[in-house]
Amino acid sequence: MSSWTEKEEPTLTALLSRMTLEEKIGQLVQLPPKGDFLDHELKTLIEKGHVGSFLNISDPEQIKEAQEISLRKSRLKIPLLFAFDVLHGFKTLFPIPLALASSMDPSLVEKVARGSAQEARSYGIHWTFAPMLDITRDPRWGRVAECPGEDPYLASLLCAGWIKGFQGDALSSSSFLASCPKHFVGYGAVEGGRDYNSVNLSLKQLKEIYLVPFLEAFKTGSFSTMAAFVAINGLPPAANPNLLKDLLRKEIGFKGPVISDWNAVKELVHHGIAENEKEAVQIAINSGIDIDMASGLYLKYLKELVLEGKVQIDTIDQAVLRVLSLKHKLGLFSGRSSQMEPNKENLQAIIKTNRELALEAAINSVVLLKNENALLPLSPSIRTIALIGPFSTEQKEHLGPWPGIGDPQQVVSLAEGMKAHAPLGVKIAVARGCDFFTSSQEELRQALEMAKKAEVIIVAVGEKASMSGEAASRAFLELPKAQQKLIDILLQIGIPVIMVVFSGRPLDLSPFFYRVKGIIQAWFLGSETGNALGRILFGFSNPSGKLPMSFPRSVGQIPIYYSHLPTGRPSGWSIPSTGYLDQKISPLFPFGYGLSYTRFHYGFPTLNHTKIGLDDVLEVYVEIENSGEKAGEEIVQLYIRDAVASISRPLKELKGVKKIFLNPGEKQKLKFSLFPSDFAFVDFEGKRKIEGGRFFLWVGPNAVEGKKVQFELAW
C-alpha cells in the first residue's frame, strides 16, 4: 500500500529537505473527526499533505481510506498517524487506571497495556494518549479516575508497566502503540480540585512529586508527551519555554514530539496570554508545542508567521523531524502494510485472551475496606441474598471514563456475575431500589419487601462514570442522596448490609462505615466486573487490592495524603497540635490500605547494616506469614522517614512494594534493597540531594501500620 520500501527508507533529513513549508506545517497538524469523517475538506488536506495525524478515529475502514489517500495521492506520501485515548482498554475494557493502581502490580499493568495495544493497533491506531501520570491528592478532581494515585514511587512503578506494555520492545512491530505520557506537568494539583483550574507549585514540589513518573516514562522509552492545559504558576505549558525547552529538552534530554492538549493552543487567548489566535500560535510553537491538537490554528497561521519572521524555519524543521521520527519508530516508513493497515484477522483471539485478562485485572483491583466478623466471603449456608441498588444490573457505567469503543452489552453485570458464582440453590433476589439520583416510593417498597426475606443484603451503589473523568470535579464526595436514603432504609431492617461501591475516585463513605458490615471498593472494573465481584463475594478469589489514594472522612480534609510533613505541632500532641476542631486528621482509609479474607503476620524487619555509606546498599529482610485459613496475596509495603534534614521531610515515603502469594500457614522471607538515591530529596533550587543522619524504616500492610526500625546514613 505504501510507496516506501525497506531499501528506500528515507533519512528523515533528506525527506525534510524535499518538503515545502506547507507540507512541513502539515506534519504539525492533528485533526479530530468531523461528522462524516472523510469529508471533501479533509480528503483535500490529506492529499496536499497539510495534515499529519488524526485523533479519535476508530473505524478501520476510514483509517485505511485516509492512509491510502496519503500514500497514493499526496506528493511525498508521508504516512498518517492515528491516535486515540486508549487509557484502560479499547474494545475489551479493563479497570480504570486508578483501580488498576490498587493492584500495585506493574507486571499486571504491563499485560493490560499490551492487551489494549493489540486491540487498538488491529483497528489501525498507532498512538495512545496514555498513560496519564498526573499525581494528585485531591479526590474532588474528576481526573483522579485516570491517574496512578497520590504517590510518586507507586506512579513510577506502574508507569514503567504501562509504557512497556503499550510499546513492547520494538515499537516498529505491528502490535504495539506509541505511548504519550500526559499531562506534562502538574495538572493534578489544580486548585480546589476544579478541572482546568490554575496550579501553583514550587520547583521543589514539581520535581519531587509531579515530574517523577514522567522521568520514569521517558527513561522507559516514551517518545512523545502531551502538555497540560492548565496555567502552572501563571503559564500554561503551551506558553512556557522554560518547561518545554529548558526543563524537558535541555535538562531531561527528551527528544520526542510534544503535542498540545485539545484546543490548548487556541485557549492561550482565554488564558489571557495571547491577544489573538495568531499570537497564540506564535507563542505555542516558539514555546515548544510541536503538534497542535484539534484547534487547526497551526494550519491557519504558521505559514504567515514564518514568512513574517516571527517563527524561524528551524523551529518548524526541528518539530517536523520529531514528528517524522515518531512515525519512523512506528515503522510507518518501512513499507510493510502490516504497519500501516488495520488488521483484524487475529482480533477474536486477542479479545478472548483479553477477556480473561480483564477478569484477572478486575479481581486484583478490588479493595476490601471492611469485613466485620468475616461475613465475607458469603457462606454457602446463606441461602437467600438480596442484591439491591442502581448498580445491581448496570453494565454501561462499568466501562468508566474513557471507555474506548467498549460495548456496554459485553459487560458482565454484578447480578449476572453473582448468579454465575453463587452456590447451587442460593437465591439471589435483585432490585434497583432507586435510580442513580432519584427514587420512587414503589421502587423503595419493592426493594424493602424483597430485602426483608434475605439473610444478607448486598447494596450496589456509587457514582455514574460521567461523575468522574475529565471536566467532572465535585465539591462534595458523598453518594447521591437517593442512594444514601436507600441504604438508610435497608439498614433499618437489621439484616447485615454489605456495600459494593462503584466510583472513579475516593468517595466520602463515613456516613455508612460504622453501620454496614462490609465495604468493597469496586471502582469501575470494565468488561468483567460481574465475574470478578462474583468470584470475590463467594470466595473463589481473595481480594488483595490496596488503596492508591487516601479516602477522606470528609471533603474538608482535602488535600489529604499519607506523605505529609510533621509540622511543628504534630497531630496528637497534648499542646495545641495540627488538626481540626470538628474532624480527625486521619483519613477514613489510608493510602496502601486493603483487607484480605486471610490474615498476614509481619515479622520485624532486619537490616544488613544499621549504618550505611553512600556506596552501600541497604538490605531489608522481613518474614511474612499467612496466619489465616485462606490462601491469598499481600502487597507488602516499605516506607522510610528522614528524621532530620535541612528541609522538613515527610512522615513517611513509600520506597518498596512487593506482592506475594501465601498459602495458609506458609511463610516467606522478603528482601528489599534500598540505594542511597532512595533517600534523596529535592532542595529549593530543584536539585536532588542526599543528607546523612537518622532514618526510620517500616515494613507493613499500609501507610499507617508497620514494624519500625532505625538506621543511619553516614554522609
Identified catalytic residue from 261, 290, 508, 678: 261
Give the shortest CB-155-to-ligand GLC separation in angstroms.
16
Element housing 535 (H / E): helix 529-537
Cell 516506501 maps to which residue?
A: 4
Q: DSSP per residue over 32-67, as a string?
A: ---SSSS-HHHHHHHHHT---EEES---HHHHHHHH
**Position 275, amino acid:** E
| Residue 32 CB partners (closer than 8 Å, separation 6+) | 54, 55, 56, 262, 294
Tell me which residue has cell 529537505: 17
Shortest reach from residue 31's CB to ligand GLC, in Å: 12
User: 294 or 454, CB closer to ligand GLC?
Assistant: 294
Our CB check for ligand GLC shows the closer of 56 and 484 to be: 56
11 DSSP assignment: P
Q: Which is nearer to ligand GLC, 99 or 227 (CB)?
A: 227
**Residue among 129 and 679 whose Cβ is closer to ligand GLC:** 129
Report the residue number, 230 or 247, with the smaller CB distance to ligand GLC. Answer: 230
What distance in Å separates the CA atoms of residue 505 and residue 85, rounded to the nearest whole number? 20
What is the smallest separation between the CB atom of 662 and ligand GLC, expressed in angstroms?
A: 39
Say what angle helices 529-537 and 347-365 make with each other, to 10 degrees.
Answer: 40
Q: What is the largest CA-CA distance in the chain?
A: 81
Smallest gap from Cβ 109 to ligand GLC, in A, equals 18
Taking the least distance from each CB to ligand GLC, the nearer of 191 and 304 is 191
The strand ranges marked E within 51-123 are 53-55, 81-84
Task: Give the Cα separation of 23 and 298 in Å (integer).
Answer: 12
Letter string b/e over residues 489-511, b meaning 16 or more CB atoms within 10 A of that residue's CB: bbbeeebbbbbbbbbbbbbbbbe
Catalytic residue status for 261: yes
Alpha carbon distances (Å) from 352 to 80, 100, 305, 411, 673: 30, 20, 52, 14, 39
Q: Where in 560-663 does DSSP place strands (E)?
A: 600-602, 606-607, 611-612, 618-626, 632-642, 653-662
Phi, psi of 127 (to 5 degrees): -140, 125
Angle separating helix axes 347-365 and 106-122, nearest 10 degrees: 150
- The total of other beta-carbon atoms located within 10 Å of residue 306's CB is 18
Q: What is the DSSP letter of 700?
A: E
For the sheet with 182-184, list strands across it.
182-184, 225-227, 258-259
For ligand GLC, which is the closer residue by CB, 181 or 331? 181
Q: How far is the CB of 260 from ligand GLC (least distance, A)?
A: 9
C-alpha cell at 671: 528482601
Tell me the β-bridge partners of 640.
653, 697
Q: Kindly list the residues in this chain that would bind ligand GLC in the complex (CB under 6 A).
A: 55-56, 85, 129, 182, 261-262, 470
Q: Is 176 helix (H, G, I), strand (E, B) or coil?
A: coil
The smaller minimum CB distance to ligand GLC, of residues 56 and 379, is found at 56
Please, what is the minimum distance in Å from the beta carbon of residue 488 to ligand GLC? 38
Nearest alpha carbon to residue 292 among 303, 302, 305, 307? 302
Rg over CA atoms, the chain: 26
Q: Which three cell numbers stand for residue 689?
A: 540531594
- Least distance to ligand GLC from the beta carbon of 56, Å? 6
End-to-end alpha carbon distance in the chain: 62
User: Counting beta carbons within 10 angstroms of the beta carbon of residue 466, is it exposed (0 to 12), middle (13 to 18) or buried (19 or more)?
Assistant: middle
Q: Could you identify the residue written with the cell 507507586?
A: 154
C-beta closer to ligand GLC: residue 230 or 447? 230
Give the length of the chain.
715
Decide whether 397 or 470 has the Cβ nearer to ligand GLC.
470
Distance CA 152, CA 154 (A): 6
The DSSP string of 371-434 is: EGGG-PSPPTT--EEEEESTTSS--GGGG-SS-TT--GGGSPPHHHHHHHHSPTT-EEEEE--S
The C-alpha cell of 293 is what? 491538537
* Grid cell for residue 575: 499542646
CA–CA distance, 497 with 490 (Å, rounded to integer): 8
Residues sharing a CB contact under 8 Å with residue 514, sequence separation 6 or more, in sequence order: none
Smallest distance, Å, CB 254 to ligand GLC?
Answer: 18
Give whichever of 86 and 388 is closer to ligand GLC, judged by the CB atom. Answer: 86
Using CB positions, name the residue nearest to ligand GLC.
129
The one-character DSSP state at 178 is B
Select 196 or 696, whichever has its Cβ closest to ligand GLC: 196
CB atoms closer than 10 angstroms to residue 382: 17
DSSP β-bridge partners for residue 128: 84
Which pairing describes strands 667-674 and 618-626: parallel, antiparallel, or unpaired? antiparallel
State the nearest-atom distance from the C-beta of 411 to ligand GLC, in Å: 22
- Catalytic residue numbers read 261
